[in-house]
Structures are given as C-alpha cells and as structure tokens.
C-alpha cells in the first residue's frame, strides 16, 4: 500500500516533529519541497506508518493538507452553482 501526502510547507516542521515524537523517522531525502506551490510532498509505503500519519493529521487540524483545501473549495463551488439554478 502506498499513500502520497501533500501538505502546506508552513506545516512541515510541525508534522515532522509530531511524527518523530511517535517514533516515525522521516528521511529528508524523501521529501520534495515545492516552493512555487508552497507545499511539500512525500510518499509512504508502510501501512503502519500510513495509519500513524493519518491519525496525526486527523488530530491536528492546523496541519493543512492540500487535498482537504481542494475538497472544501469544490464543495463551495458546487453550493454556489446549485444556488444559481
């Protein structure tokens, strides 16, 4: 199982610190920074690590995942579109 994460660059330190506190070692070579997008990305293959990261992200609303931002924007657009009809 592989999961790809894309998180705001400003939340990088917070996420890495939380992961290291629970014993997940993050290799900085696996992280790709995208300064144009203001995000960083990484991929995880271990199912236990995926579960840990998902738990941390769900418990940390300040760590802002891009996917969640996109979902919220799409929902708003759909609401606006439906209201026009």
Which pTM value belongs to this model? 0.65
Q: What is the DSSP letter of 5?
A: E
Residue 65 has pLDDT above 70, yes or no: no
Residue count (the chain): 85
Question: DSSP states of 25-36 as a string?
Answer: ---GGG-EEETT
pLDDT for the residue 25: 81
Q: Rounded to the nearest 5°, which phi and psi values hold at 40?
A: -135, 155
Tokens of 76: 């708003």
The SS3 assignment for 77 reads helix
Question: What is the average per-residue pLDDT within 34-46?
Answer: 86
Question: What is the average per-residue pLDDT within 52-67?
Answer: 78
């Amino acid at each position: 199982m592989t999961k790809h994460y894309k998180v705001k660059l400003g939340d990088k330190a917070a996420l890495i610190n939380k992961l290291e506190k629970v014993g997940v070692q993050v290799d900085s070579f696996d992280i790709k920074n995208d300064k144009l997008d203001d995000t960083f990305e990484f991929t995880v293959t271990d199912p236990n690590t995926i579960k840990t990261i998902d738990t941390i992200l769900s418990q940390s609303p300040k760590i802002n995942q891009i996917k969640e931002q996109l979902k919220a924007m799409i929902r708003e657009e759909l609401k606006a579109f439906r209201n026009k009809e």
